[in-house]
């Protein structure tokens, strides 16, 4: 039996700088550790460092091993000069340009690739940098791989409450709130208008605190959010899903780290890779589950992103039409939109 609460406890531990054990491997997150915690975790200074494929590639470590499988995590041998500060420099890309790294570093065989992948996933869910010291477990709070799967299982989402919610531009609207017992973010659906027998016009909007709330001009999220409400209202009826998948699923802090890298000149794709994350870490099964709970197996989708169509179709939702959702660029987001068109397949 998998236990999603075990994953919730592990995520909490990572954020507090406490070690966790996944299937017999003890892991200490570099970001939330410090010298004392590292010394307590690994008194002999032998524990190697686990890095994501993207981070290892950025540091030119990935090609030393597994060149054929560039998505694989990499284990870095614990040389005497790989102390806590150096590990931080390996984990955190913000200083890559300013501080040429010490070395040399050596990638060593990773006998537990599934555990490594699970650890990096946990880091993403916890919103910390994907880098860990690793050694055999010695009684740390344990989780199994299946616990992490259970934690992210979209089928655990359920409707908790619903209420009328008139919004600007769509007064005949109802909000429906969804959650699982363990996951912190509550997703919501705004049902705009009344079902009229036609497939609803649906928008999947991923949370963007900077764009949705602060009026950031770096992206197109704020204008897209408001334009979606108007487009759905004008279409007769439909559903806006507001998904708590900030920063394409890497969380606010890591998105802002990606922004800091963009300040150094990297684009939105390379910034995610340098941090050690997937370019898009969102799980659109969440959206499919919400539509299923709302009784909508066939929809028209408002998006420029063919991946969203494919992900919904793969999760059993029939997308009968893709409706473009383009907003005019501004001087601050023009490069971002160009990158989406040129590198992530957006139809812009």
Ligand X SMILES: Nc1nc2c(ncn2[C@@H]2O[C@H](COP(=O)(O)OP(=O)(O)OP(=O)(O)O)[C@@H](O)[C@H]2O)c(=O)[nH]1
Name the one range near ligand X by CB under 6 A: 85-93, 135-143, 175-183, 216-224.
216-224
65 close to 59: Cβ distance less than 8 angstroms: no
Sheet hosting strand 131-136, strand order edge to edge: 107-108, 74-76, 49-51, 131-136, 25-29, 20-22, 142-143
Minimum distance from residue 41 beta carbon to ligand X (Å): 30
124 a catalytic residue: no
Name the one range near ligand X by CB under 6 A: 23-31, 38-46, 184-192, 218-226.
218-226
Sign of the alpha-carbon torsion through 269, 270, 271, 277: positive
Q: Does 208 bind Zn ion (CB under 5 A)?
A: yes
If we measure between CA atoms, which residue out of 101, 126, 5, 13 comes closest to residue 49? Answer: 101
Q: 303 is in the binding site of which of ligand X, Zn ion, none (Cβ under 5 to 8 A by kind)?
A: ligand X
- Which residue among 282, 307, 322, 341 is the active-site one? 282
Name the one range near ligand X by CB under 6 A: 57-65, 75-83, 122-130, 299-307.
299-307
Work out the burial of residue 52: count CB atoms within 10 Å of its CB; fewer than 13 is exposed, 13-18 middle, 19 or more buried.
buried
282 a catalytic residue: yes
State which residue, 208 or 299, has the beta carbon closest to Zn ion: 208
Minimum distance from residue 133 beta carbon to ligand X (Å): 25
Work out the burial of residue 191: count CB atoms within 10 Å of its CB; fewer than 13 is exposed, 13-18 middle, 19 or more buried.
buried
For tokens 């998904």, the residue is 243
Q: Does 308 bind ligand X (CB under 6 A)?
A: yes
Q: 339 labelled as ligand-binding?
A: no
Binding mask 147-186 for ligand X (x = CB under 6 A): ----------------------------------------
User: According to CB under 5 A, which one of 50, 219, 240, 288 is a site residue for Zn ion?
Assistant: 219
Q: 3-state DSSP call for residue 177?
A: strand
- Contact residues for 34 (Cβ-Cβ < 8 A; gap 6+): 17, 84
Q: 246 is in the binding site of which of Zn ion, ligand X, none (Cβ under 5 to 8 A by kind)?
A: ligand X
Name 118's bridge partners: none
Minimum distance from residue 226 beta carbon to ligand X (Å): 13
Q: How far apart are CA 159 and CA 157, in angstroms?
A: 7
State which residue, 82 or 317, has the beta carbon closest to ligand X: 317
If we measure between CA atoms, which residue out of 24, 18, 61, 59 comes closest to residue 139? Answer: 24
Tell me which DSSP letter residue 193 carries.
S
Q: 233 labelled as ligand-binding?
A: no
Task: Examine residue 104 and say whether the peptide bond preceding it is cis (omega within 30 degrees of 0).
Answer: yes
Q: How far apart are CA 185 and CA 206, in angstroms?
A: 12
User: According to CB under 6 A, which one of 28, 33, 190, 219 is a site residue for ligand X?
Assistant: 219
What kind and span of H or E run contains 249?
helix 246-249
Q: Total binding residues for Zn ion by CB under 5 A?
A: 4
Q: 221 labelled as ligand-binding?
A: yes
Tokens of 274: 């340098």
20 close to 135: Cβ distance less than 8 angstroms: no
Name the one range near ligand X by CB under 6 A: 117-125, 229-237, 285-293, 301-309.
301-309
- Which residue among 42, 147, 270, 280 is the active-site one? 280
State which residue, 248 or 274, has the beta carbon closest to ligand X: 248
> Which residues within the stretch 236-255 sit at the binding site for ligand X (CB under 6 A)?
245-248, 250, 255
Interface contacts to ligand X, rule CB under 6 A: 206-208, 219, 221, 224, 245-248, 250, 255, 258, 268, 272, 303-305, 308, 325, 340, 346
Q: Give the binding site for Zn ion (CB under 5 A).
A: 208, 211, 219, 221
Catalytic positions are: 280, 282
């Amino acid at each position: 039996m998998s236990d999603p609460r075990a994953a919730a406890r592990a995520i909490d531990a990572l954020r507090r700088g406490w070690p966790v054990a996944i299937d017999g491997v003890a892991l200490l997150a570099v970001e939330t550790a410090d010298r004392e915690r590292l010394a307590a975790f690994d008194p002999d200074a032998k524990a190697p460092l686990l890095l994501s494929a993207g981070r290892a590639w950025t540091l030119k470590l990935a090609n030393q091993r597994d060149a054929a499988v560039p998505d694989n995590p990499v284990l870095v041998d614990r040389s005497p000069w790989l102390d806590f500060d150096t590990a931080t420099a390996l984990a955190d890309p913000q200083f890559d340009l300013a501080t040429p790294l010490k070395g040399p570093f050596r990638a060593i065989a990773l006998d537990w690739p599934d555990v490594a992948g699970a650890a990096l996933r946990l880091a993403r869910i916890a919103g910390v940098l994907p880098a860990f010291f690793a050694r055999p477990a010695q009684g740390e709070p344990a989780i199994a791989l299946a616990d992490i799967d259970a934690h992210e299982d979209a089928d655990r989402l359920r409707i908790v409450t619903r209420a009328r919610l008139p919004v600007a531009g769509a007064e005949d609207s109802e909000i429906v709130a969804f959650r699982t017992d363990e996951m912190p973010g509550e997703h919501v659906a705004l049902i705009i208008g009344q079902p009229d027998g036609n497939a609803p016009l649906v928008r999947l909007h991923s949370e963007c605190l900077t764009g949705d709330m602060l009026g950031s001009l770096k992206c197109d999220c704020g204008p897209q959010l408001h334009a979606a409400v108007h487009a759905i209202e004008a279409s007769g009826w439909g559903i806006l899903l507001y998904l708590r998948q900030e920063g394409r699923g890497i969380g606010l802090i890591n998105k802002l780290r990606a922004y800091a890298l963009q300040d150094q000149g990297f684009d939105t794709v390379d910034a995610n890779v340098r941090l050690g994350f997937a370019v898009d870490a969102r799980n659109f099964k969440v959206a499919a589950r919400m539509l299923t709970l709302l009784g909508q197996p066939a929809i028209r989708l408002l998006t420029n992103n063919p991946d969203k169509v494919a992900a919904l179709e793969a999760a059993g939702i029939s997308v009968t039409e893709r409706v473009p959702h383009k907003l005019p660029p501004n001087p601050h987001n023009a490069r971002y939109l160009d990158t989406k068109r040129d590198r992530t397949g957006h139809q812009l």
